[in-house]
Chains A and B, each alone.
Chain A
Amino acid sequence: MTDSSEEGDEPAYVSRWKAATTGFDRVQSVASSLEEPRTAGWIADEAYVSEPTTRDHLERLVDLGVLVVDDTGRGKTYYPDPVYTRLTAIQELVAENSETELTEQAIDIQADITAWTEDYDVETPRELRASVTDDVSLEEADERLRVAADWESARYQLSLLRDAIDHYDTYTGRPSASV
């Protein structure tokens, strides 16, 4: 599979994807959304980029700290770097919000968590999932599992917000230009 060949046979969505992105974009986006460590060959197939070019892109992403590589076991695999992932999430928060807005978001999330605690009479998402038993209707079970997942996401978002708020001045500080 290459960037330029087989275009007549490729699915329509791939043509549209290629028209909107570069090969590097596709390799980076496939690698950044991995659900488990994958080889360059797997990523090349999913990104519709040749394997040699994909390897070059992946090594560049490793050098930039975007990906980590594991060269043991079943061959060389790639996976998103957890530190880079967390820092870019915080960077997005700081870039898109003032310190006041970040604090307001944290308070809103805290209110949601308090409401879930009261609505379901549990203290944690784990307890909420454990309340899904055979005597709960399917619709109620689906709802509780969805809320448990959203609750965990809310807690994670709070951890990002806390980091962004605690270090807001550092993250937004810019040196003044010399004249």
Chain B
Amino acid sequence: MTADEEDDHVAHPDLDGLFDRHSRRPDGGRDTSRVDVEKRHRILRSLREQLERHPSVVGARGSPDGRYAEITADVTPADFGRDAASASLRVSWQPNPRFPPGTSLENRRRTSLTSNFTIHYQESSEFDCGVHLEPNPHAEGHLHYQERASPDDEYDYDAMSLEATSPVGVLWEVLELIADRLRDE
């Protein structure tokens, strides 16, 4: 077992066994997965704070149960030109993502962003749409917009690009983009 694997090893499901207290390797380097997970948590907390400042957001929280695997937020559908009873946003951000074997990074040519993310809008009417930067076998390019009327329908995909490169800038730009598209429909 390597030092990293030893760090990662969880022999028993007791709390003490789950805490990695040795994120620095014996050679002085950092465990990159630990660095990435701390970064992911920090970025999602920043995105939550920004969501709470957005005029269309009623409230935002880390989920599930406050643990920041992603952010969920309640939003006002009317602000997006929609008449649904309620709507929510789901936001994920994954720094330094691992890709399945055979993934072509050529498909990231429309963006300089290195993280994967999803910013997805869902209504009580079952309509949903979002901007994603992640591999999708149905979409040309990792950065794309996708939309469907209900879970029974196939998604329609569109290529897109973004000006912002910071996570919080991307959040505000994507929310504006989603609102523009929905108001135009």
Contact = CB atoms under 8 A, between A and B. Distances in A.
Interface of A: 11-14, 16-17, 19-21, 25-26, 29-30, 32-35, 43, 46-47, 80, 82, 85-86, 88-89, 92-93, 96-97, 105-106, 108-110, 113-114, 117, 123-127, 129, 132-134, 136, 138, 141-142, 145, 148-150, 152-159, 162
Contact of A155 (B20, B68, B114): B20
A26 B49 CA distance: 11
A133 B98 CA distance: 12
B65 A29 contact: no
- Please classify how large the interface on chain B is, using the bins under 10, 10 to 19, 20 to 34, 35 or more: 35 or more
A85 B40 CA distance: 12
A124 B53 contact: no
Contact of B42 (A12, A33, A96, A142): A33
Contacts, number: 155
Interface in B141-185: 163-169, 172-173, 175-177, 180
Given A11-B176, A33-B168, A129-B98, 9 more contacts: A19-B55, A89-B45, A126-B4, A132-B101, A133-B101, A149-B98, A152-B36, A155-B20, A157-B67
Contact of B176 (A16, A47, A129, A149): A16
B85 interface: no
Contacts of A34: 166
A135 B66 CA distance: 35
Contact of A35 (B39, B68, B100): B39
A25 B53 contact: yes
Contacts of A145: 97-100
A156 B65 CA distance: 14
A26 B114 CA distance: 22
Given A110-B18, A157-B68, A20 B101 contact: no
Contacts of B180: 12
